[in-house]
Structure 1
Amino acid sequence: MKHINVIFGFFLLIFLFSGCNTNPVIGLLMDTTERERWAKDRDLFVEKVNDLGGSVIVKVADSDASVQFQQALDLINEGIDVLVIIPVDKTVAAGIVKTAKKTRIPVLAYDRLIWDCDLDFYISTDNIQIGEKQANFITKAQPEGNYALIGGPTKDNNSIQLYLGWMNVLQPLIDKGDINIVSNTFVKEWVPEEGYDVTKKLLQDSIKLDAIIAANDALASGAIEALHEHNLEGKVLVAGQDADINAIRNIVFGNQTITIYKPLESLAFNAAIASVKMAKGKDPSDNMSFTVNNGHRLVPAILLEGQVVNKQNIRMTVISEGFVAEQEVFE
């Protein structure tokens, strides 16, 4: 009997030991990787999870919410430990969260908040603050005149947050009569064509533009293309965000005024650490009290700060931090 107990104890130890070494499997659902920043987010996130002893299964929806939902079902059926979502649509993604919760899989929203659901954790930048940074810089450089606002898709909660940030700064100047909003548009997708179409129509209608604030660098690049066709590039202030290499070059050439650099490494690393903690049944928030309301609950969150990049500080920001190489910018 004693011999049997020893054998049983031996196998129990093997079982427990193997369980302790089980590597967490994280499912990462992405909207797209066409924009260079999202490819960087993916690579940084996967690298950090691997460093922490986990693995990542990546699915890219190519901006199709229904495809993303099916990809989520596939990952859930594969038995992942945690689901990390960069949602295509903030409302459709709520259905993904509800499905995951039925199988007790925790969900982390990455960069974009998922609305009206029992979301476990949220990691992003402070997008209201980013909108304020864009508007503050542009209004200091151009305190009067005609402004065009090109917002992102409303299916992305960040678009609304950025707009709130813009208006926090612009509304007092609008009320004073210093600034006139000649166009206030939310586009359907985060692509250059949308920024081009909005700006082209304004110029065709002979509307004088003094400044354009765009929700990302893709929209800003489309606006700059339309300005170029009317020989107005560099004559109209343009703000974007994401610090795409094309935007950095446009700033060097004088065609774009600023972009906002998001700390992608910190964003991805914090998300990786939180997701691995959740996979092990631990609280990812480390007793933090910061929360974001998603319409259903106060979601524990980490919000990082973005940084203005202009012609004067390119080397001190995105280049010194290794986000872009100097030869890529000044080639």
Structure 2
Amino acid sequence: MALQISGTAKSFIRRSAQVLSILCFVAIAVLASCDMKPRIGFLMDSLEIERWNKDKALFEEKVKELGGVAVIAVADSDPDKQLEQARQMIDEGVDVLVVVPVDLEKAGEIVKLAHQSFVPVISYDRLIKNCNLDYYVSTDNINIGELQANYLTKISPQGNYVLISGPTSDYNAYLLHLGWMNVLQPLIDKGDINVVLDEFSEFWLPDEAYRILSQYLKDKNEVDAIICGNDALASGAIAALKEHKKDGRVLLAGQDADIQAVRNIVAGYQTITIYKPIESLAFAAANAAIKISDGEAPSNMHITVNNGKRLVPAILLQASIVNSQNIKMTVIQEGYIGEQDIFN
């Protein structure tokens, strides 16, 4: 005898099956979300300078090692483009934004936009000013300026100095300049050092320093030492010095340990560069971003930096000098540059 099922029972069975199907779908979605890797947005200014290609590769590698996915966008030195890239990343659901700001002030809009969607922001290498920035990971740029100035003044405690800073849109340019003056000002006050030229450039590029120094050397010949904000500016200064037959006869400091800068040190055109621990910098930022995405506060931010709006928890790493005597013990030993790339 066949079992007869009433219409009410059939309806109940159908509804139960639908509910069970929905619950299974939700369970699968929840389990899938548990396996989702944190997405870390990395907003970069430009890749035109050699060192930033290293930062990009190292950051991406470190985020992957820590179980996340790095989403990278390069703004080509356009602050409006960087803001749009931030908007797109936020809309696509990144968990944390790490920003190398194109403009120290305008990047505050990125922080404001991110916070509207509860996305924390880490400022990388360059400080974003006058906003409620969450974290800052960089090197101690005042100390870098002091290292540059100290080294040159030990060799030449008297003479005419030229200072070529980076762009005013980058707060690092001010910090480096402050470090220079911490060392130079007492010697200026004594009358031992005369700063004959002190200018900020528009970009961190060789043409800027070439233009600034060439204009000066057209009319004046007095220069014993030059301090540049980075190695790209230093290379532009070398080009100007060569045109005036002063290459190798003027002390010159740069920063970033670019391959060409280290070659210039070997050749005698540049006195020193500054090596930033970029691998440690990338790891510190990646580690902080992954922890934040997991709801944890980074445990190694023991200092704060005033960005004009608040005291921002920060990591500031130390840099080191590279000169003709210690190239093998610094950038080569660290694996930052291959020996064959320098000496061949």
TM-score (norm 1): 0.95
In 1, distance between residues paired with 2:20 and 2:170?
58
Separation of aligned partners in 2, 1:18 and 1:11: 10
1:306 aligns with 2:292: no
State yes or no: 1:157 paired with 2:156: no
Which of residues 72, 94, 107 is equivalent to 2:108? 94
User: 1:52 Cα deviation (Å)?
Assistant: 1.3
Give 3-state SS (helix, strand or coil) of 1:92's partner. coil
Deviations 1:137-157 (A, max 9, x none): 000011110000001011101
The residue that corresponds to 1:106 in the other structure is 120
How far apart in 2 are the matches of 1:13 and 1:81? 22
1:185 pairs with one of 199, 218, 223: 199
Output the aligned Cα RMSD. 1.8
CA distance in 2, matches of 1:72, 1:7: 38
Distance across 2 between alignment mates of 1:182 and 1:8: 76
How much has 1:100 moved relative to structure 2? 0.5
Q: Secondary structure at the match of 1:321?
A: coil
1:66 aligns with 80
The partner residue of 2:338 within 322, 325, 330 is 325
Count matched residues.
Answer: 328
Give 1:18 shift. 3.0
* 2:189 equivalent among 158, 170, 175: 175
For the 8 Å contact 2:130–2:309, the answer to whether it is kept is yes
- Is the partner of 1:59 in helix, strand or coil? strand
The 1-side partners of 2:265 and 2:249 are apart by 13
Say if 2:103 and 2:169, in contact at 8 Å, map to a contact too: yes
CA apart distance, 1:8: 9.8
Find the partner of 1:278 among 292, 299, 321. Answer: 292
**2:82–2:102 Cα contact (<8 Å) kept:** yes
Amino acid at match of 1:162: L
| Shift, 1:279, TM fit | 1.1
Say which SS state the counterpart of residue 49 (structure 1) adopts. Answer: helix
What SS is found at the alignment partner of 2:282?
Answer: helix
Distance 2:220 2:21 in 1: 87
CA drift at 1:14: 5.0
**Alpha-carbon spacing, 1:288–1:124, altered in 2? closer, same or farther (3 Å):** closer
Q: Identify which of 306, 315, 323 aligns with 2:328.
A: 315
In structure 2, the partner of 1:215 is 229
The aligned residue for residue 275 of structure 2 is 261
Q: 2:146 aligns with which of 116, 124, 132?
A: 132
Evaluate the alpha carbon distance shift between residue 22 and residue 265 of structure 1 in structure 2; reply closer, same or farther with a 3 A threshold: same
After superposition, give the CA deviation of every residue in 1:132-178 in whole Å (9 maximum; x if it has no partner).
00000000011110000001011101000001100000000000000
CA gap 1:141/1:69 in 2 versus in 1, 3 angstroms: same
Runs of 5+ unmatched residues, structure 2: 1-15
Q: Post-superposition shift, 1:206?
A: 2.1
Shift of residue 254 of structure 1? 0.3
Consecutive unaligned residues in structure 1, runs of 5 or more: none
Residue 15 (structure 1) shift:
5.1
**C-alpha deviations, 1:194-247, integer Å up to 9, x for none?**
010111111101231000000000000000000001111110000000000010
Instruction: Summarize the Cα distance change of 1:15–1:77 in structure 2 as closer, same or farther, 3 Å threshold.
Output: closer
1:238 to 234, 252, 261: 252
Residues of 2 paired with 1:212 and 1:255: CA distance?
Answer: 12
What is the CA–CA distance in structure 2 between the aligned matches of 1:86 and 1:223, rounded to whole Å? 26
Identity rate of aligned residues, in percent? 57
Indicate the structure (1 or 2) with the bigger Cα radius of gyration.
2
Residue-by-residue CA offset, 1:115-139 (whole Å, 9 max, x unaligned): 0111111000000000000000000
- Give me the whole-angstrom Cα distance separating, in 2, the residues matched to 1:78 and 1:8: 26
Question: SS at 2:107's partner residue?
Answer: helix
Q: Deviations over 1:11-46 (max 9, x none)?
A: 776555433322011111100011110000000000
Q: C-alpha separation between the residues in 2 aligned to 1:102 and 1:8?
A: 32
Preserved contact between residue 302 and residue 315 of structure 2 (Cα < 8 Å): no
C-alpha distance in structure 1 between counterparts of 2:220 and 2:198, whole Å: 17
Quote how far apart the aligned CAs of 1:51 are: 1.1
